[in-house]
């Protein structure tokens, strides 16, 4: 059985994405549900780090170390999916998460697309 992961969804994800992840027994918090609907990237990342959650995002800033340097963190998964519908996001994300543990994500940025996953050690 896949490991339940603590996930933090950036504000662009809809409730149905969170629900699909919760149906897989993941512990999911959406930025928009905890007062971060208009938070900037740094605030989003800081919250994910403080709560020991893997951040799931579509935002390309989470790979530009000049703009948003990463320190110790639980992991960041940046999705590259087009179009960015909830169906396409869950179709890509759910099978990928089933294959990995929380420890594998620690201190990694994962760029995930339908064709590849690129793992980058950040610390």
Give the ranges where 1-123 is alpha helix by DSSP (H). 15-23, 41-50, 86-98, 102-105
Q: What is the pTM of this model?
A: 0.92
Q: Per DSSP, what are the bridge partners of residue 76?
A: 55, 109
Do 3 and 102 touch, CB atoms closer than 8 A?
A: yes
Give residues with Cβ within 8 angstroms of 83, minimum separation 6: none
pLDDT tens-digit profile of 63-110? 655 455 567 889 999 999 999 999 999 999 999 999 999 999 999 999
56: preceding bond cis by omega (within 30 degrees): no
Sequence spans of domains, the chain = 6-121
pLDDT tens-digit profile of 13-29? 999 999 999 999 999 99
Question: ∠ CA(100), CA(107), CA(74), 5° rounding?
Answer: 65
Least Cα distance to 58 among 4, 100, 101, 17 occurs for 17
Backbone torsion region of residue 75, taken as left when φ is above 0, otherwise alpha when ψ lies between -120 and 50, otherwise beta: left
């Amino acid at each position: 059985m896949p490991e339940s992961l603590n996930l933090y969804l950036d504000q662009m994800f809809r409730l149905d994405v969170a629900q699909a992840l919760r149906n897989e027994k993941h512990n999911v918090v959406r930025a928009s549900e905890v007062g971060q609907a208009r938070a900037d990237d740094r605030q989003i990342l800081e919250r994910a780090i403080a709560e020991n959650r893997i951040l799931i995002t579509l935002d390309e800033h989470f790979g530009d170390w000049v703009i948003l340097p990463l320190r110790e963190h639980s992991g960041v998964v940046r999705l590259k999916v087009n179009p960015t519908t909830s169906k396409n996001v869950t179709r890509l994300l759910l099978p990928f998460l089933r294959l990995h543990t929380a420890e594998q994500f620690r201190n990694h940025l994962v760029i995930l697309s339908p064709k590849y996953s690129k793992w980058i050690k950040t610390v």
